[in-house]
A and B are shown apart, each in its own frame.
Chain A
Amino acid sequence: MMNELNTPVLKASGLIKDFPIGSGNKASMRALNDISFELHKGQALAIVGESGSGKSTSARILSRIFEETAGLIEYKGIKLKDFIKKFGRLEYARQVQMVFQDPFGSLNPVHTIYHHIARPLLIHKRTDKQGVEQAVYDLLELVGLSPAYETSLKYPHQLSGGQRQRVAIARAIAVEPEVILADEPISMLDVSVRLGILNLMAELKDKRGISFMYITHDIATARYFAEKTAVMYLGHMVEWGDSDAVTQTPQHPYTQLLLSAVADSARKDTVEFKANTGEIPLWGKESKGCPFVSRCHKVIEPCHQTMPAIKEISSGHFIRCYQV
């Protein structure tokens, strides 16, 4: 019983992803290096980092758009490959849904909203032909798109960005997923409607027990929405733990830099922002040391040699850095 509760819904261990660069030759870049995390029922893990740090690649591996180069993924306690062998890819795709940054790109302009929601319901046999109409309206109401009947008749271009993202979420939850991988779901939306979407996701998480991976470059929304936060830098996880620990007592030099760069008028201590103008290297198979070395103010000799080991600095708060 205990065990059942503690088993993560999704668990990744030691993920590595190499992408070829250039054409034909064997050169490659390492987009993810030794990435490990867990998604738990009814909880959110935020993945925070600058562009190119590997956030989307992580989500795409979980959703099987990409294949990992190395590492292990477990779904509900069994190897993902075994789960897919047993239940099929379609079933995994139903249980693990994605929501993307651009709600316009992910909706088909020639179909009505009704079509977008009814289709997955029928494909995944969540309802029969008689029930589908009511199911569509219920979902639209649930995501705040009322009046549902009127909305269902519209086409994507007739909705605002925030409304389109609500349609994308309705479509994702139509099939009663266990996990939603949300890749920057609010960054293209108007600021005034962003919180509405985050609050909707929070409701799905808390009331329906859906697990979320919330990808963002905005660490303030990570703290707002997610119980856990992992900070990524150049394909590496550098600091992770409870969102409050990571954002209130950041320990890694990169997390500290990131937080000092965020405008926040509620900040009491005036932390000094120290510019780091060093260039970000291209990470490859042979690269060694800490990925942050070129921009770090605290470098010591070992930083150039070996990636620092994982340290638990307080219960559930982890970091990779020699200086902490």
Chain B
Amino acid sequence: MSEVLLEINNLCVDYVLPNGIARAVNNVSLSIKKGETLGLAGESGCGKSTLAFSISNLHKAPALISEGEILFQGQDVLKMRPKTLKAYRWNNVSVVFQSAMNSLNPVISIAEQLTDVIRAHTKASAKDAELRAIELLEIVGIHKERLHSFPYQLSGGMRQRVVIAIALALEPELIIMDEPTTALDVVVEREILNQLYELKQTFGFSILFISHDLSLMAEIADRIGVMYAGNLIELGLAKEVFHHPIHPYTKGLVSSFPSIHGPKETLYGIPGSPLNLLDKPQGCDFQARCPDCHHKCQQEVPRLSSDTPDRLVACHNL
């Protein structure tokens, strides 16, 4: 579990806009180990998807990676030649996006969508590809009789399973899941996540799991990273981050989810609104919403530093 699969160093991603430059990912360093599930949390607009796109090198204008490196098994993804990059995107890393279930080709049966992927990236014969497709769909819990269905004949949950089957097709080492189940009902979400967990046990891939739902991530991730306005502000073991958050923003996020079983108490969420990236203050980006803000927070940007070896926090108030 300690072998590093992906390493991100000082990554900065900017959106170059007519009215300014919005830094959506700011100096982020992270690593994902082999077989690990890393959760990435934070409210919308904090840069989670931008980071995901960058890792798969799928970012396009106006996004610009202005600094940093992304190393996959030691190889710099941002310097890969087109052919290596293509192999990287399919054989090493695959991505499942939130609305992926709506991007399946509507006029091709689901079995065929899978065989197409398999044949395009491996030397499998038509027959072998089909057998593999059947196997993959079974793995994600889609019955044989559904093989020749078209996407519109399937429920949202089933379509998202098909997308996961496609993501698994080439046995990647890393699967990036960007809010893969937020559009689904909780029961379906739980079914899919349980299945994913079993698949992970079998195949041993790593997962970068992006969601705004911290309680969900506390259950499924090994570690959790929390982002605010493009910055990684806290990183640690999942249960630790969730049960003993240190950064005031993480504390606020945790207390944004009423518990269904715990004591009933008034919760406050986080006052104020998310930050406008084109109008960043001097000092800490969270200052306007922070209950613990003091003089230094308005002067200096807090750096990620560690109190204990397993935890990194960017806050002056440690």
Residues of chain A whose beta carbon lies under 8 Å from any beta carbon of chain B = 50-51, 160, 162-163, 190-196, 199, 217, 219-221, 223-224, 244, 247-248, 257-268, 273, 275-277, 279-280
Contacts and interface: CB of A to CB of B under 8 A. Distances in A.
Nearest to B268: A195
B260 interface: yes
B257 interface: yes
A224 B258 contact: yes
A125 to B, nearest CB: 34
A199 B141 CA distance: 41
B212 A191 contact: yes
Can you list the 5 inter-chain pairs with the closest CB atoms, starting with the nearest?
A266-B262, A195-B269, A224-B258, A261-B190, A192-B270
Chain B binding site: helix, strand, loop or mixed by DSSP? loop
18 contacts: A50-B187, A191-B43, A192-B256, A194-B269, A199-B268, A220-B259, A221-B258, A223-B260, A258-B186, A262-B186, A263-B216, A263-B218, A265-B239, A265-B242, A265-B259, A266-B262, A267-B260, A277-B191
Contacts of A280: 155
Contacts of A265: 215, 218-219, 239, 242-243, 259
A277 to B, nearest CB: 6
Among B212, B239, B262, max chain A CB count under 10 A is at B262
A199 B213 CA distance: 20
B261 A266 contact: yes
Contact of B141 (A263, A268, A277): A277
Contacts of B171: none
Contacts of B83: none
B44 A51 contact: no
Contacts of B259: 220, 264-266
B185 interface: yes
Contacts of B243: 265
Nearest to A192: B270
Interface in B233-258: 239, 242-243, 252-253, 255-258
B173 to A, nearest CB: 27
B204 interface: no
Contacts of A220: 257-260
Contacts of B194: 273, 275
B124 interface: no
Chain A binding site: helix, strand, loop or mixed by DSSP? helix
Contacts, number: 107
Given A160-B274, A265-B218, A273-B194, A195 B256 contact: yes
Contact of B191 (A194, A199, A275): A275
Nearest to B258: A224
B189 interface: yes
Contacts of B266: 199
A208 B255 CA distance: 26
Given A162-B273, A191-B253, 9 more contacts: A192-B43, A192-B252, A192-B256, A192-B269, A193-B273, A223-B264, A247-B260, A264-B260, A265-B242
Contacts of A193: 269-270, 273
B212 to A, nearest CB: 5
Among A51, A196, A273, max chain B CB count under 10 A is at A196
Contacts of A196: 268-269, 271
Among B185, B253, B258, B266, max chain A CB count under 10 A is at B258
Contacts of A160: 273-274
Interface in B48-100: none
B267 interface: yes
Contacts of A50: 185-188
Nearest to B252: A192
B258 A51 contact: no
A220 B43 CA distance: 19
Contacts of A259: 260
Contact of B185 (A51, A247, A264): A51
Nearest to A280: B155
A195 B254 CA distance: 12
A248 B186 CA distance: 18
A93 B258 CA distance: 32
B268 to A, nearest CB: 6
A258 B189 CA distance: 11
B301 to A, nearest CB: 21
Contacts of A223: 258, 260, 264
Contact of B260 (A195, A217, A257, A262): A262
Contacts of B186: 50, 217, 258, 261-262
Contacts of B262: 264, 266
B226 to A, nearest CB: 12
Nearest to A259: B260
Contacts of A273: 190, 194
B279 to A, nearest CB: 12
A163 to B, nearest CB: 6
A190 B258 contact: no
Nearest to A202: B266
Contact of A263 (B43, B215, B269, B273): B215
A264 B215 contact: yes
B252 to A, nearest CB: 6
A1 to B, nearest CB: 32
Nearest to B262: A266
